[in-house]
Amino acid sequence: MRQPEACAALSRAKARLDRLDLYPGPVRIDHVRVLTIPWLFRAPWFRRFDGYAMWNLILLRGPELERDEELICHELCHVWQMQHRPLRMPLSYLRVGYAGNPYEAEARRAAASGSLGS
């Protein structure tokens, strides 16, 4: 069962992404879960991240990040990308890395341009 704050954050992020026309269908959040797992972000690979998306799962470094609308929107954009490109998107990180990854750039633009104030 989803926590109310995580559910509200997902709904707000979905509303932001629904204004964008990046993929044929809107992002689906029915089965998306948001979990706070601080210990995971102490592992070497995860130390540089505050959030991380895996298909229908968004992992956060700490509970205060559930209120970070740009981060939730960024990670939900990754969920959306994986809904439409479930293999190509995650494998792109092996091919081109993180810094120059087009999916990473797209998620940053989506989170920035998808704000309700823009």
Rounded (5°) CA angle 18-75-1: 90
pLDDT at 85: 96
pLDDT at 116: 47
**How confident is the model over 74-105, as pLDDT tens digits?**
999 999 999 999 999 999 999 999 989 999 99
Rounded (5°) CA angle 86-3-104: 30
**How confident is the model over 54-74, as pLDDT tens digits?**
999 999 999 999 989 999 999
Task: Check whether 1 has a pLDDT greater than 50.
Answer: no
- Residue 51: count of CB within 10 angstroms of its CB: 21
Domain boundaries, the chain: 4-113
pLDDT at 101: 97
